[in-house]
């Protein structure tokens, strides 16, 4: 697996929570007892532990995990799993992930999102002689669907997406949709909040369970709650963090992680860190 840096830093986490709660800098400063000057220094990246802890409490974030993030003291352990491959491509000023999951016995596969381009993904398909049955989209934001046509034309894959977020040429599914890829079973779970039709795909049949979570959750962070911050948090708790602790999480940005690691280190979920 490619070593990919964390998608967000501690300032990004603060800003996402603050936007989600619809708090101005003035509201936040006054509400948590941090001076406007210290809040400004914090948002410029200065590690002011007392201020970080006050801001974390005010925003419902984990104090220790946010301080840990500010100190750059944690990143998830590298993960390697037979039947899983991650691809990281450049999209503008950021990078974005796509994934392949396959049954090592039948070599039947599913692709998840496309990233900025699908060159490396399709090269892996050819090299390993995989047959891509499905292209399953976590959501329809441009960085995740930029190269759908290549996968469709090269692999003759069926494209699927949530009925809440239609995409041209894609088949639509509702709650409880299931797919099979060789011996693997894939279940779609709604994780709305970052996008209307945000979907997590839970894959069973490899050595560990795998959840392709799109932008619902990142290592030590989460996607911005552009549609609903409240729904994004609730969906992550009920649909992702309820999975087994060794479940491998494959986010749309940043490194692969696990449920257990996110419970211990993600500032957005302090209830697991008490």
Percent of the chain with pLDDT over 70: 99
Q: Would you kindly state where each structural domain of the chain is located, as residue ranges?
A: 10-70, 84-273
Fold match, 10-70 / 84-273: no
What letter would DSSP give residue 221? B
> CA nearest 116: which of 138, 87, 139, 137?
87
The per-residue DSSP string of 96-165 comes to EEEEEEE-TTT-EEEEE---S--HHHHHHHHHTT-EEEEEE-S---HHHHTTHHHHHHHH-PEEEEETTS
Write down the pLDDT at residue 260: 98
Write down the pLDDT at residue 3: 82
Q: What is the homologous superfamily of the domain 10-70 according to CATH?
A: lambda repressor-like DNA-binding domains (1.10.260.40)
As a whole number of angstroms, the distance between CA 19 and CA 271 comes to 21
Percent of the chain with pLDDT over 90: 96
* Fold observed for domain 84-273: Metallo-beta-lactamase; Chain A (3.60.15)
> CA nearest 253: which of 214, 224, 227?
214
Q: Which residues contact 220 (CB under 8 A, 6 or more apart)?
A: 6, 8, 13, 65, 69, 74, 75, 254, 257, 262, 265, 266, 267
pTM: 0.97
List pLDDT tens digits, range 16-39: 999 999 999 999 999 999 999 999
Is the confidence at residue 104, as pLDDT, over 70? yes
């Amino acid at each position: 697996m490619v070593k990919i840096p964390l998608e967000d830093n501690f300032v990004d986490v603060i800003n996402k929570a603050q936007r989600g709660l619809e708090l101005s800098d003035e509201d936040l400063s006054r509400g948590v007892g941090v001076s406007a000057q210290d809040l400004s220094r914090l948002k410029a990246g200065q590690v002011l532990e007392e201020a970080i802890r006050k801001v974390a409490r005010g925003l419902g974030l984990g104090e220790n995990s946010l301080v840990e993030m500010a100190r750059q003291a944690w990143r998830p352990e590298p993960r390697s799993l037979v039947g899983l491959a991650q691809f990281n491509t450049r999209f503008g000023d950021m990078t974005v992930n796509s994934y392949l999951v396959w049954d090592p016995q039948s070599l039947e596969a599913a692709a998840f999102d496309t990233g900025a381009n699908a060159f490396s993904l399709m090269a892996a398909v050819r090299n390993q002689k995989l047959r891509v049955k499905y292209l399953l989209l976590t959501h329809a934001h441009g960085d995740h669907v930029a190269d759908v046509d290549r996968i469709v034309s090269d692999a003759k894959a069926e494209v699927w997406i949530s009925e809440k977020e239609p995409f041209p040429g894609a088949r639509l599914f509702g709650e409880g949709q299931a797919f099979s890829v060789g011996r693997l079973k894939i279940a779609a779970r709604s994780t709305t909040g970052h996008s209307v039709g945000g979907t997590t795909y839970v894959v069973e049949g490899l050595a560990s369970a795998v959840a392709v979570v799109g932008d619902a959750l990142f290592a030590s962070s989460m996607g911005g709650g552009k549609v609903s911050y409240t729904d994004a948090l609730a969906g992550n708790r009920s649909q992702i963090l309820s999975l087994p602790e060794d479940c491998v999480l494959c986010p749309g940005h940043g490194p692969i992680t696990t449920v257990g690691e996110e419970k211990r280190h993600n500032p957005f979920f302090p209830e697991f860190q008490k």
